């Protein structure tokens, strides 16, 4: 009977891995938007589709959590992990939506730098959650978590520099407000990557 129940666990790892792939896809699409500042509304719509697909994965994972008797690790950790991953994608989509709505004239180098750090963070998140399936290489997962923390610190520094430069060089108050909000959204997404890394680290230390 126990062996019959065990295969149900696999689906949770499928959800984590699928969500990790969606996060990487969505964050890469935001960077693409900033590096090729054309067809912005179309690109924003594409990112919204990716975000909706991530919402579906989250919903399916939580639904299964309510139905499954045996889980690979505790239910609270599963719920927090999938919802924190969803938060990353939500923030990436919010940034892309604002870029479209605000009709910015051109991207700044600082926005591109923050987006690149976010993409690197998202890729490390995807790698880390893939490792949870077997946890055979716990040390590698922990290294990925450390790298995500480092990238979050890098994003913090970039944000401070970017906002400082914005206040010094931009004369239009509305433009300052818009870019400041976008910078903060990109940095907040890397914060959520760090939240995921902290959860993954806790899971590995407890269950590996």
Q: What is the pLDDT of residues 176-188, one digit of tens each?
A: 999 999 999 999 9
Task: Show Cβ contacts of residue 208 under 8 Å, excluding neighbours closer than 6 positions.
Answer: 135, 138, 141
CA-based nearest residue to 115, from 87, 96, 138, 140: 96
Can you spell out the DSSP letters for 154-167?
HHHHHHHHHHHHHH
Helix (H, G, I), strand (E, B), or coil: what is residue 182? helix
**Domains by residue range for the chain, with CATH:** 2-207 (1.20.58.220)
Q: How many CB atoms lie within 10 A of CB 117?
A: 27
Q: Please say if the pLDDT value at position 2 is more than 50.
A: no
Q: How many CB atoms lie within 10 A of CB 162?
A: 24
- State pLDDT tens for residues 63-74: 999 888 888 888
- State pLDDT tens for residues 96-115: 999 999 988 899 999 999 99
Q: Please say if the pLDDT value at position 3 is more than 50.
A: no
- State whether the Cα torsion 23-46-115-173 is positive or negative: negative
Q: What is the DSSP letter of 137?
A: T
Q: What is the DSSP letter of 70?
A: S
Are 108 and 179 within 8 A, CB to CB? Answer: yes
Can you spell out the DSSP letters for 71-129?
-SS-HHHHHHHHHHHHHHHHHHHHHHHHHHHHT-SS--HHHHHHHHHHHHHHHHHHHHH
Helix (H, G, I), strand (E, B), or coil: what is residue 134? coil
Are 206 and 122 within 8 A, CB to CB? Answer: no
- State pLDDT tens for residues 134-180: 888 899 999 999 999 999 999 999 999 999 999 999 999 999 999 99
């Amino acid at each position: 009977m126990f062996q019959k129940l065990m295969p149900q666990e696999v689906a949770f790892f499928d959800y984590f891995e699928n969500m990790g792939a969606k996060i990487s896809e969505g964050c890469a699409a935001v960077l693409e938007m900033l590096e090729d500042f054309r067809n912005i509304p179309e690109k924003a719509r594409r990112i919204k589709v990716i975000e909706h697909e991530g919402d579906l994965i989250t919903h399916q994972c939580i639904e299964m959590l309510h139905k499954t008797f045996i889980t690979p690790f505790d239910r609270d950790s599963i719920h927090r992990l999938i919802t924190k991953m969803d938060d990353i994608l939500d923030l990436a989509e919010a940034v892309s939506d604002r870029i479209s709505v605000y009709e910015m004239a051109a991207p700044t180098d600082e926005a591109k730098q923050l987006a690149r750090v976010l993409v690197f963070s998202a890729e490390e998140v995807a790698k880390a959650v893939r490792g949870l399936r077997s946890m055979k290489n716990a040390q590698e997962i922990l290294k990925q978590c450390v790298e995500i923390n480092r990238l979050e610190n890098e994003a913090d520094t970039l944000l401070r520099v970017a906002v400082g430069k914005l206040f010094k060089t931009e004369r239009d108050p509305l433009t300052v407000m818009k870019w400041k909000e976008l910078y903060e959204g990109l940095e907040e997404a890397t914060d959520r990557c760090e939240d995921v890394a902290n959860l993954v680290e806790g899971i590995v230390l407890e269950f590996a």
